Every structure is written in C-alpha cells, then in structure tokens.
Structure 1
Amino acid sequence: MLPVLSKVMATVNAPYSVAVTPAQLAASIADPESAVVCDPATFAFLSEVSLNLQHAFIDAMAVDPEKVALVARKFSDLAGYRLPLAS
C-alpha cells in the first residue's frame, strides 16, 4: 500500500472504528449520497485528513476532484463550516 494511502486510512479508520478500504473511501468521497447518509469515513476524510494528504489520496486513487468538491460542499452545509475541499 502506498504511504499516502496508509496515512489516510489510519486517520479515517482508527477514530471511528470503521473499516473501509482505500477503494471504498475513494468511491464514497465522490458520491453525494455519502452526505445524505452522513458517512463517517467520508466526513473524517474531509475534515481530519490534511489538505495535502487529501489531494495526494485523490490523485493516487484517480478520483474526480470536482465530484469530491461537490461532496465536500454538501458536508460543509451539514457541518455548518467550510471544509477545505469545498471550494
């Protein structure tokens, strides 16, 4: 596993006792339904992973950044504050 994936997955999985794979996280951060169901792994990625690691993960997993920005905006609306990728 790439170092960036290990760092991101440790941040996302450990605190919330969830067990998502990098592929599952990549899919959820690009899926607006994640905000509807308040997916904790997606929110942890968007709120607790550093911006540099977020970009590196998105690149490594070939996720569409525009889709991630849409999901980040939806979570920002729910959280009441702007998440870094929401711009």
Structure 2
Amino acid sequence: MASVAAKVMSTVSAPYGVLLTAAQLAEKIADIKSADTCDCSVFAFLSEVSPKLQQSFIDEMGVHKDAVIAVAGKFSDLAGYKLPLAI
C-alpha cells in the first residue's frame, strides 16, 4: 500500500474501528449513497484528512473528483458546515 493510502486509512479506520481497504474507501467517497447512509468512514475522510492528502488519495486511487465533490457537498449540508472538497 502506498504511503498516501496508508496515511488516509490510518486516519479513517483506526479511530472508528472501520475495517475497509483503500479501494473500498475510494469507491465510497465517490458514491452519493455514502452521504445518504451517513457513512462514518467517508465523513472522516472528508472532515479529518487534510485537503492536500485528500487530493493525493483521489489522484492515487483514480477516483473521479466531481463525484467526490458531490458527496462532500451533501455531507456539508448534513453537517452544517463547509467541508474542503464541497463546492
């Protein structure tokens, strides 16, 4: 696992006891259903991982950034504050 993915996964998985792979997280951050179900791992990625590391992870995992922006926007609405990737 690359260092970017390892850093992201330690931030997202460890505190919440969520067991998922970097590939699974990559799928979740681009799936609007993650906001509908209030997925804690996706919210942790969007709120606790630095914006620079978020972008590196998105690039490294080949995730469509527009999809992540849509998910971030929905989570921002739910949280009541703007997340870095929300537009």
TM-score range, shorter chain: over 0.9
Q: Structure 2: how far apart are the matches of 1:16 and 1:35?
A: 17
Partner of 1:22: 22
Partner of 1:43: 43
Q: Structure 1: how far apart are the matches of 2:48 and 2:73?
A: 15
Q: Structure 1: how far apart are the matches of 2:51 and 2:35?
A: 19
Q: Which runs of 5+ in 2 are unaligned?
A: none
Q: Structure 2: how far apart are the matches of 1:57 and 1:32?
A: 18
Task: Tell me, yes or no, if structure 1 residue 66 matches structure 2 residue 83.
Answer: no
Runs of 4 or more consecutive aligned structure 1 residues displaced over 4 Å after TM superposition: none
Task: Tell me, yes or no, if structure 1 residue 13 matches structure 2 residue 10.
Answer: no
Q: CA RMSD in A?
A: 0.4
Deviations 1:38-65 (A, max 9, x none): 0000000000000010000000000000
Percent identical pairs in the alignment equals: 61
User: Offset at 1:20?
Assistant: 1.1
Q: Structure 2: how far apart are the matches of 1:52 and 1:24?
A: 20
TM-score of the superposed pair, with normalisation by structure 2: 0.99
Secondary structure of 2:45's match?
helix
